[in-house]
Amino acid sequence: EAGVAQSPRYKIIEKRQSVAFWCNPISGHATLYWYQQILGQGPKLLIQFQNNGVVDDSQLPKDRFSAERLKGVDSTLKIQPAKLEDSAVYLCASSAVAGGPGGIQYFGAGTRLSVL
Amino acid sequence: GIQVEQSPPDLILQEGANSTLRCNFSDSVNNLQWFHQNPWGQLINLFYIPSGTKQNGRLSATTVATERYSLLYISSSQTTDSGVYFCAVFLFRAGTALIFGKGTTLSVSS
């Protein structure tokens, strides 16, 4: 079974530029999460999708971050314009359902973003 | 919100030693997962264990939900066990996104 795919693996941009990350969840997984992991900390939720609808985006900095999950499969996360403090690893996770034994979350390898 | 505390923050072991990592959480939870983040940043699922005990090879985990803690045991450690170990939980009424502790950084030397 293929895991969660993310691209690119690394990205270096200058502040005020824009950047986009892509995630393809495990086939059949209805729930998709984007997490941000700053160096030395645990991942923190940015946004959660159930199929193609947003369940929780309360911690997404909406003035600069946006995300979509068209057709309930792939998802993209965009930052525009980037700030220095956006340097982090962006992790995508998926689960078959939201919660319970079927709600085990599986993570992709992440995209490491450096903003200069 | 739910607080997750992990201890110790850092652990240095010689190959072959055993270790116990602890995760305390501040509220009853519906999901608890242990992860290993390898040096390349990949989060690898170790256990889904909201309660009870599970074992997988040299690793085992126990969650005592009523006392709000979980333990991860690593026996006969190997250099490949090095990395950061995270405990993560959620409570349905607060959403199903995982809330992570700060992790335990394990270094195993040969």
Which pLDDT tens digit goes with each residue over A58-92? 999 999 999 999 888 999 999 999 999 999 999 99
Low-confidence spans in chain B with pLDDT less than 50? none
Structure tokens at A17: 């530029």
Cβ contact, residue pair B41, A109, below 8 Å: yes
Cβ neighbours of residue A61 under 8 Å, at least 6 residues apart? none
**Mutant choice from A34, A48, A60, A107 vs B, greatest count of B C-beta within 10 A:** A107
Cβ contact, residue pair B48, A45, below 8 Å: no
With CA atoms as reference, the chain A residue closest to B51 would be A101
User: Please, are residues B77 and B16 in contact by the beta-carbon 8 Å criterion?
Assistant: yes
Domain B4-109 CATH class label: mainly beta
With CA atoms as reference, the chain B residue closest to A104 would be B48
User: Please, are residues B77 and B108 in contact by the beta-carbon 8 Å criterion?
Assistant: yes
Residues of the domain holding A105:
5-115
* Least confident residue range of A4-13, A17-26, B8-17, B35-44: B35-44
With beta carbons under 8 A apart, name residues in chain B contacting A42: 4, 86, 88, 100-103
Classify strands B19-25 and B69-74 as parallel, antiparallel or unpaired. Answer: antiparallel
pLDDT range class, residue A1, cuts 50, 70, 90: low
Cα–Cα distance for residue pair B24/A112, rounded to 1 Å: 29
Nearest to A48 by CA among A110, A114, A113, A105: A105
Q: Does A31 reach chain B within 8 Å, measured CB to CB?
A: yes
Give the HSE-up count for residue A84: Cα atoms under 13 Å, Cβ half-sphere: 1
Q: Does A25 reach chain B within 8 Å, measured CB to CB?
A: no
Per the structure, the count of domains in chain A is: 1
Chain Cα centroid distance, residue A16: 20
Q: Does A112 reach chain B within 8 Å, measured CB to CB?
A: yes
Cα–Cα distance for residue pair B82/B41, rounded to 1 Å: 12
Residue A99: predicted pLDDT: 64
Check which CATH number belongs to the domain holding A20 and give it: 2.60.40.10
Whole-Å CA distances, B61 to A60, A93, B58, B72: 33, 22, 10, 4
User: Please, are residues B91 and B27 in contact by the beta-carbon 8 Å criterion?
Assistant: yes
Cα–Cα distance for residue pair A15/B73, rounded to 1 Å: 43
Residue A113: predicted pLDDT: 97
Q: Between B31, B48, B100, which is nearest A42 by CB?
A: B100
What are the residue boundaries of the structural domains of chain B, listed by start?
Answer: 4-109
Residue B93: predicted pLDDT: 67
Please state whether A40 falls in left (phi above 0), alpha (psi between -120 and 50) or beta: left
